[in-house]
Amino acid sequence: MSEIKAKVLDKFQDIFGNAGEAKVYFAPGRVNLIGEHTDYNGGHVFPCALTIGTYGVARRRTDKKLRFFSMNFEGLGIVESSLEEFTPGGDKNWTAYPKGVMWAFEQKGMKMDSGMDLLLFGNIPNGSGLSSSASVEVLTGAILRDLYGFEVTNQDLALIGQYSENKYNLVNCGIMDQFAIAMGKKDCAIFLDTSNLKYEYAPVVLKGAKIVISCSNKKRGLGDSKYNERRSECETALAELQKVVDVKSLGELDEATFEKYQGAIGDEVRRKRAKHAVSENQRTLKAVAALKAGDLEEFGRLMNASHVSLRDDYEVTGIELDTLAEEAWKVPGVIGSRMTGAGFGGCSVSIVKDEAVDGFIQSVGEAYLKKIGYAADFYVVEIGDGPVIL
Ligand code: GLA
């Protein structure tokens, strides 16, 4: 038995008792290599699941009660609820995520006739932009499927997770995070066309380099409302473009076509937002082609260009993420570096040659501390599989 499995079962025993009747599950976190803020614009994304994520220990109950405990928020103790207490937008702590998924299953006609005891332990830093919330959502879906016998595929788990986030937690996110987690595959990134959910696994062959995550430790506060704001800016820009060109989404435009019609967007800020959505989608296509051709240098250059676009046109980086990326670019042996996830804090992702990793962590870490006033954290990560029963 793995060390973590033993640890979470022990804790379940302490908190709820009779751990012998419980099962252990895992769902990963994710990092997006390129294709940011494209998933709600009908564009492409290129994320991968990680080997870090969320562990869940669960057991069905005979009554309608739901009892939750998180080892990441031990101070909250056991949070009690029931199958009769689902209030979209109304939960004030982490239980909003598993409850949202239970509610979403019910909405889709899959009713739970009895409650459960659920203990979680996550080794993804919370609120870091590595999708700790989508990880909990997909994990919960995998648990419900197993404990209640619901017939759903991993892709369904992604869609139900997104539905719960949109309708229960009121964040208008795209499909990328839940899809990357539910469909994760070891050592591969997922090249996903969000306009039709067609996808392809692309082996991430880094030839003597590693993926390093730099966590800014800036917590996102107003991030989610800005997220919804960016999304509606893009929707308005699309509606303006649709008056002059026949497209269903910004993802259908290449740069030349966008250039030709962009005058139809009546506001400079919205023009920049749409420009990012268009150019980022094109960069993602080019980056995947470069990776397939073994041209890692080109992949890295496109990552850097993605950051610049997110900084200047989409304006979702901020001084913390800019410092992480810009300091990374200065380090010899860094192939590419960019913010990842929604932005407004969270993490950057860098591809760094093996021999340069220690120096990278030291020099980016020192520069970050000096400029920002608190430390960043660094994780050398590996690409893992989707949800599993342990
Ligand atoms: C968040 C959302 C995703 C995606 C990214 C930005 O992670 O949950 O759907 O939009 O931001 O690329």
Cα 92 to ligand 1 centre (Å)? 22
Task: Look at residue 220 in the predicted model and tell me its pLDDT.
Answer: 64
CB-ligand 1 contact for 37 (6 Å cutoff): yes
Most distant pair of Cα atoms in the chain: their distance: 66
34, 47 contact by CB (below 8 A): no
Mutation test residue for ligand 1: of 227, 283, 306, 340, the one with most atoms within 8 Å of CB: 227
Each residue of 67-94: pLDDT tens digit?
A: 999 999 999 999 999 999 999 999 889 9
Closest C-alpha among 320, 50, 341, 138 to residue 224: 341
Token readout for 294 is 């073994």
Task: Look at residue 253 in the predicted model and tell me its pLDDT.
Answer: 98
Cα 232 to ligand 1 centre (Å)? 14
Mean pLDDT of the chain: 96
CB-ligand 1 contact for 39 (6 Å cutoff): yes
Cα 115 to ligand 1 centre (Å)? 31
Alpha-carbon distance of 172 to 176, in angstroms, equals: 12
Each residue of 262-317: pLDDT tens digit?
A: 999 999 999 999 999 999 999 999 999 999 999 999 999 999 999 999 999 999 99
Q: Which atom of ligand 1 is found nearest the CA of 38?
A: 12
CB-ligand 1 contact for 240 (6 Å cutoff): no
Q: Is 354 a catalytic residue?
A: no
Cα 31 to ligand 1 centre (Å)? 10
> Which residues 6+ apart lie within 8 Å of 324 measured at CB?
214, 216, 337, 339, 347, 348, 364, 368, 376
pLDDT at 11 over 60: yes
Q: Which atom of ligand 1 is found nearest the CA of 227?
A: 11
8: exposed, middle or buried (C-beta count within 10 Å: 0-12, 13-18, 19+)?
buried
Residue linked to tokens 């400029």: 371
Each residue of 47-73: pLDDT tens digit?
A: 999 999 999 999 999 999 999 999 999
Alpha-carbon distance of 156 to 302, in angstroms, equals: 32
The secondary structure of 96-149 as a DSSP string is HHHHHHHHHHHHTT---SS-EEEEEEE-SPTTSSS-HHHHHHHHHHHHHHHHH-
78, 118 contact by CB (below 8 A): no
User: Domains in the chain, please, with CATH?
Assistant: 2-203 (3.30.230.10), 209-380 (3.30.70.890)
> Which residues 6+ apart lie within 8 Å of 386 measured at CB?
27, 28, 49, 138, 154, 181, 182, 183, 184, 185
Q: Which residue among 39, 117, 177, 322 is the active-site one?
A: 177
325: exposed, middle or buried (C-beta count within 10 Å: 0-12, 13-18, 19+)?
buried
Task: Look at residue 222 in the predicted model and tell me its pLDDT.
Answer: 46
Alpha-carbon distance of 64 to 128, in angstroms, equals: 34
172, 163 contact by CB (below 8 A): no
Q: Which atom of ligand 1 is found nearest the CA of 45?
A: 12
Task: Look at residue 227 in the predicted model and tell me its pLDDT.
Answer: 87
**pTM for the whole thing?**
0.96
> Which residues 6+ apart lie within 8 Å of 268 measured at CB?
none
364, 333 contact by CB (below 8 A): no
